[in-house]
Amino acid sequence: MNQSKFVIVFFICIGFSFVFGQDSLRLLTKINNQYNEERIQIQNFYYNPASMSDYSSSSMSEFSLNYQSDNQKTYLRQLGSGDTGLSLKTNSFKKLKSNSAVWGNAGYSNMTKKNLSYNENLDFERIAPYVTQDSVGGNLNLETYHFAGGYAKKMNRFSFGLFGSYDAQMAYRSRDPRVKNTTSDLIISAGINYKVYQDYEIGVFGEFNKYTQNGSVNFVNEVSYPIIYQSVGFGYTNYLFNNDSKTQYEELGYKIGGQISSKDWKDFYITGVLSSSNNIKGIEPRVGNRYYDTSDLENKISQIEAAKFFSLKNNRIGLIFNYNSTIRTGKEYGYTSNSDNRELIFKRKAYKKEQYTTSFKAFYQLTQEKYIFTAVPFFLYQEITERRIYPFSGQKYDAYTLGLDVDLKVEIKKNQVLSFKPSYSYRNINKAINALDTNLRPALIDWINQDYSILTSDVFTMGAIIRYDFTIHKLPSFFISGQWITMTIKEKNNNFGALSLGITF
């Protein structure tokens, strides 16, 4: 995307925020509404854009400049040792007079992803294990662009909503191996709710997604360079296409769901979602001008979430249950290799990853005139099984996580608010087994064993966000915030820090 065009559109979005984000509220009330912890905990409810008409009773907007630095000592090599860089973000929600609402957001970031290896693509979690890899790797420069917007309206017993978003990425490396990757991700969704009895509503919604990634790896030094591998998981590669450097990923997906709620979710809701997508990888050989399909990665996701809330004077209490099932199946293509005109001879299932997650959250909030206190203890249980055949290799583990998120907003003066959000969690591996095939080169054996060791390690995480909001005369509110997170894995600390400056209005 042309950067000058992005800057123009970005500041149009900021202007939209200034025009539609003005509301005269007490600062503590305004900040609590804009960063409502209850609403944050039930984001899955807003899969349905028709429900956005009741997202907030007042308008709100934000613009921020952000810096972050992530320094990891224990990390998966395919994801790198962290990233450092700047980002700009703006978002706005406007409650219109005609029982309708509009919202939108935009963002730009420029990051350096550090020490990637065995992965020369973007969106690793989306396309793994079918990535392009080499053993050298290095830092990667990454620019991202994001735009989104929606509209929702209530009409008597009906409400409907439309939403669209577009994300693009561009990554490159200025030294061998010289990577160039671009992605585009388009989402369009729509939903409708119907009030069936008193305050009870039922709703249905759907989403369409189209994703594309194009990548290449080149070398200035054509005399001596490492082999480019086309991974199929657990250290194995598609030998027929190794050293072919151009790849293309095309994905189409959809999501459908339904929900039942009462009093605009303020009492209870149940929402269920089913989604499916197919990501096909194509590789262009060095000799030739066509792409050959080499894998088809199918994703099936099902999710159900139920929540119940009730109020006792100044106290708000709730319970949230969520279950998620994600199954990824990889089909791989085989071609003849005895001529330049390769012919497809088979297509077979060769990879599968199953992930099942169950979580429970308790919600407690105390609202007083000068402060608002929220506590969210949670429990999460996860089972993961990953395996491939031809040849067989696999791993399986399950873990539980206990944690607590706290949020305290305090009014220092009428025009000043201090927010403090500490968090804590501990993940314990209950049982882990593997049957990893070691018929590989020593460097690859070391890599897959290191992956398994990290994935099956206990993790202790703690951190905090502190934020100061203030208003000067009739100007919009300003804020400064800092965030720190430390994650201890295998007796080493991974540290993340961030600083944000912004305006809310």
Q: What residues does each domain of the chain span? A: 3-504
CB distance 333 to 348 below 8 Å: no
Res 287: pLDDT = 77
Spatial CA neighbour of 371 closest among 14, 19, 29: 29
**What does the pLDDT look like over 225-267, one tens digit per residue?**
778 999 999 999 998 999 888 999 999 999 999 999 986 567 8
What CA–CA distance (Å, rounded) separates 385 from 356? 9
Q: What is the CATH topology of the domain spanning 3-504?
A: Maltoporin; Chain A (2.40.170)
Tokens representing 31?
Answer: 């900040």
Spatial CA neighbour of 363 closest among 348, 345, 376, 350: 376
Tokens representing 493?
Answer: 């600390």
Q: Cβ neighbours of residue 63 under 8 Å, at least 6 residues apart?
A: 14, 17, 88, 89, 90, 502, 503
**In 39-82, where do the E strands start and end?**
60-71
**In 8-99, where do the E strands start and end?**
60-71, 83-95
What CA–CA distance (Å, rounded) separates 159 from 52? 10
Res 20: pLDDT = 46
CA angle 484, 487, 491 (to 5 degrees): 135
- pLDDT above 70 as % of the chain: 94
Res 151: pLDDT = 97
**What does the pLDDT look like over 467-502, one tens digit per residue?**
999 998 878 899 999 999 999 999 999 999 999 999
The low-confidence residues of the chain, meaning pLDDT below 50, are: 1, 4, 7-12, 14, 16-23
Res 17: pLDDT = 46
